[in-house]
Amino acid sequence: TQLLEQSPQFLSIQEGENLTVYCNSSSVFSSLQWYRQEPGEGPVLLVTVVTGGEVKKLKRLTFQFGDARKDSSLHITAAQPGDTGLYLCAGPSQGGSEKLVFGKGTKLTVNP
């Protein structure tokens, strides 16, 4: 069974600080996606990384896919209260299935 382990589980920081959250697996993924979920809402897709070693930037967010395609990281620069939320990574299940496997997420709180 493919598993995606996310760390840390909880992270509370002050506005303006930088942070990195991680998504790790013992399995190779053809791609990984990052989502942000706010309380009472569904996840919203932030980015998809496909190529090993790939780096994608979305304003203050930087996403990296590991060379071996087993891990990914999300770095946020100068965090703002609006970045508060649950960050989830997800990848396609093996065998060509259409289903996504999700990690349990990192719950980020950015205090003003």
Partner 1 sequence: NAGVMQNPRHLVRRRGQEARLRCSPMKGHSHVYWYRQLPEEGLKFMVYLQKENIIDESGMPKERFSAEFPKEGPSILRIQQVVRGDSAAYFCASSRSGGWGTTNEKLFFGSGTQLSVL
Which residues contribute to the site for partner 1 (CB under 8 A)?
Answer: 4, 30-31, 33, 40-45, 48, 50, 88, 90-93, 97-105
Closest separation between CB of residue 33 and partner 1, Å? 8
Closest separation between CB of residue 1 and partner 1, Å? 12
Residue 89 host element (H or E) = strand 85-92
Residue closer to partner 1, measured from CB, 43 or 110? 43
Residue closer to partner 1, measured from CB, 50 or 78? 50
Q: How many CB atoms lie within 10 A of CB 15?
A: 13
Per-residue tokens: 95: 């065998």
Residue closer to partner 1, measured from CB, 17 or 29? 29
Q: How far apart are CA 43 and CA 103, in angstroms?
A: 12
Residue closer to partner 1, measured from CB, 41 or 67? 41
Asked if 62 contacts 72 with a C-beta cutoff of 8 angstroms, the reply is no
Q: What φ, ψ does residue 83 adopt, rounded to 5°?
A: -80, -10
Closest separation between CB of residue 15 and partner 1, Å? 26
